[in-house]
Amino acid sequence: MRIGVLTGGGDVPGLNAAIRAVARRAFEYGYEVVGIRNGWAGLLEGNADPLSLNSVSGILHVGGTILGTSRTNPLQRDGGTEQCLEHVKDLGIDALVVVGGDDTLSVAAALFKAGVPVVGVPKTMDNDVAHTDYCIGFNTAVTVVAEACDRLHTTADSHHRVVVVEVMGRDVGWVATIGGLAGGADLILVPECSHTVESICNHITRRCEEQGKGFSIIVVSEGAHIEDLEEREDLGKTDEFGHARLDKRNIGDVLSKAIEMRTGFESRAVILGHLQRGGSPTVFDRVLATRLGATAVDLIKEGRFGQMAAIQGSHIVSVPLEQVAGKTKKIDLDLYRLAEVFF
């Protein structure tokens, strides 16, 4: 048995832990493992190298991915599916472990239907993959957000400023909600809920007048929609999955300027950007990645292809990829309402 493993989409801490787990479990069963370089781009090109005990040693705590990654979408390339099938055959791959978010796993689901024996592992700092409570990388990302809020509270209080903290979250507000809740944010703005500049400014003013708070920490998802905020509409080219670069939207800076103009409070924007997806994974992400990666190989051993290893509660389970592809897990609004208690 020869297993191929690839990591696709944005990098997150914990990917190397998953690669290590896939390889170590496979070696335990006497299987060979090849690492496919740069996500789906590597499979399109047939770019892969054998993995060994030595090559996956010492990577548990290392951020990023030793295999590299890309946002390449074979389904958008002429003959892309056929190329992938051809290189799976040429590389002698009997089963493929795909570690990625919804975009990457949607391609995996399509390739499974085309005849590739695939098993998925969910990773994304956005935590928006359906049918799993947590994705690899999410816990590390929200830990970074919470720590940033901790540090920003003291400087915001000292200077009596409003600090707008822009975090990742294209379609969902998991990072903003959990990171903001843990970091004591005074307001959290997410794509799932309606917001206006007027309501935001009123909240800041009330904090000052009724609570004597001369500062505020506002955490905003990069994909949040604020109805009366004037912002850039043309975000340029999209990637092969149809996503625009939301850093060009610059919502944190635009919102902080609007707040200062309307309230008179000195305001600053802090854009955490790739800090959220860099560095060493937390204990939770290391263990989650290890459990999911090992389970993916167990599913292969059992011949259960077209499945994704997932965590539900404290248990690792399997979910059909067809139930995951194209789905987005929105935030738990009860959790968001809990955060509102502290605004």
206 is in which domain, residue-wise? 140-277
Q: Can you spell out the DSSP letters for 296-343?
A: HHHHHHTT--SEEEEEETTEEEEEEHHHHTT------HHHHHHHHTT-
Residues 200 and 72 in one domain: no
Residues 116 and 18 in one domain: yes
- The pLDDT value recorded for residue 249 is 86
- Give me the phi and psi of 248, to 5 degrees please: -70, -20
Whole-angstrom distance between the N-terminal and C-terminal Cα of the chain? Answer: 55
- The pLDDT value recorded for residue 283 is 98
Is 85 part of any domain? yes
CATH at residue 255: 3.40.50.460
Which is it for the CA torsion 254, 191, 170, 144, positive or negative?
positive
Residues 131 and 145 in one domain: no
Tell which of 241, 259, 277 closes a domain: 277
Is 287 part of any domain? yes
Is 335 part of any domain? no
- Give me the phi and psi of 189, to 5 degrees please: -115, 120
Taking CA atoms, 315 is separated from 130, 309, 318, in Å, by 16, 10, 10
Residues 247 and 305 in one domain: no
DSSP 270: E
Residues 74 and 110 in one domain: yes
Residues 188 and 260 in one domain: yes
Residue 104 is which amino acid?
Answer: T
Residues 150 and 266 in one domain: yes
CATH at residue 289: 3.40.50.450
Residues 43 and 167 in one domain: no
Give the pairing of strands 216-221 and 187-189: parallel
Measured torsion, CA atoms of residues 276, 277, 279, 281, in degrees rounded to the nearest 10: 100
Is 46 part of any domain? yes
Residues 7 and 133 in one domain: yes
Report d(CA 39, CA 72) in Å as an integer. 7
Residues 17 and 127 in one domain: yes
- The pLDDT value recorded for residue 75 is 93
- The pLDDT value recorded for residue 171 is 94
Is 341 part of any domain? no
Residues 126 and 105 in one domain: yes
Q: Can you spell out the DSSP letters for 66-95?
A: TT------GGGSTTHHHHHHHHHHHTT-SE
Model confidence, pTM: 0.95
Tokens of 135: 């994705």
Is 339 part of any domain? no
**What is the count of structural domains for the chain?**
2
Outline where 39-172 has alpha helix (H).
40-45, 80-90, 102-113, 138-159
Residues 43 and 80 in one domain: yes
Which residue among 11, 126, 186, 285 is the active-site one?
126
- The pLDDT value recorded for residue 234 is 64
- The pLDDT value recorded for residue 108 is 98
Is 337 part of any domain? no
Residue labelled with tokens 């990069």: 222
- Residue 126 among the catalytic residues: yes
Question: What does each of the 343 residues of the chain score in pLDDT, given as a tens digit?
Answer: 999 999 999 999 999 999 999 999 999 999 999 999 999 999 999 999 999 999 999 999 999 999 999 999 999 999 999 999 999 999 999 999 999 999 999 999 999 999 999 999 999 999 999 999 999 999 999 999 999 999 999 999 999 999 999 999 999 999 999 999 999 999 999 999 989 999 999 999 999 888 888 899 999 999 999 988 877 666 668 888 878 788 778 999 999 999 999 999 999 999 999 999 999 999 999 999 999 999 999 999 999 999 999 999 999 999 999 999 999 999 999 999 998 898 8
Is 193 part of any domain? yes
- The pLDDT value recorded for residue 160 is 93
